[in-house]
A = this chain, B = another copy of it.
């Protein structure tokens, strides 16, 4: 069994030993893992850890404000708004692998700029056990990374041995708010993987609104802790509808709400039907671009949790 205060004490020692007086950066996404890795490392390095939050314009509604509000008082926090750079590069792209590649590339570019600016020598990462257990091969724990424009950073992974539930315990012990350590996982490429087909500013905005409605209603009913993730996907399928008395032609949205222990497998549980109908009604009423809503019923496997 994990003893949180021992674990924290030992980690602080080890980080201090590795980094010394050096400067470290971490890409803080607002997810549980990078958040806990940030506040833990901050205990060791103080303001020598710069937490870089890159806004790629693919965030959920209110997310940038939430992360800023939560971490500005706690960390040497750097907010970088790169949303135009990301969205312009993604406009019109439809292949999911290409979307991920573009996002990854721009992210590293932006991140390297900041790391260079602050003179960082170390890169802290919120890697946890399932991340490296899933991807065999990458088993060494001490290594360097060379960023595309030549910056070489030494990797520090302070929560590498932990599982998700242990990460949450450490986060709580370090004073992170309850709702932060219990957040649902959110994909790195953000809403980009929740819009199928060609990306556009408009579709990302529509997808963001639908996701906000799903989160609101799930949290109103209070079943968020029974779910691993709950979100909406904006598909590229267009469906005939009627709004007022007029024939309409709009997008199909798919609701995805899964239960899971570890994301390796996941299943769609039976959900409160009234909640599902309310979400559906709100989405078609509040988002003019959407004419039809459906509820994903596929488990993982054979499907994946996110659509891309």
Contacts and interface: CB of A to CB of B under 8 A. Distances in A.
Interface string A263-301: 000001010010011001100110000011111111111
A303 B285 CA distance: 11
A78 interface: no
Report copies per complex.
2
A242 B284 contact: no
Nearest to A291: B303
Interface stretch (A16-24, A83-91, A232-240): A232-240
A298 B302 contact: no
A308 interface: yes
Give chain A's interface residue range (CB within 8 Å of chain B): 35 or more
Nearest to A307: B239
B96 A241 contact: no
Contacts of A15: none
A292 B277 CA distance: 21
Contacts of A285: 302
Contact of A242 (B241, B296, B302): B302
16 contacts: A235-B252, A237-B252, A239-B308, A240-B308, A241-B301, A242-B301, A252-B254, A268-B277, A281-B299, A284-B302, A291-B303, A293-B296, A294-B295, A294-B297, A294-B298, A295-B297
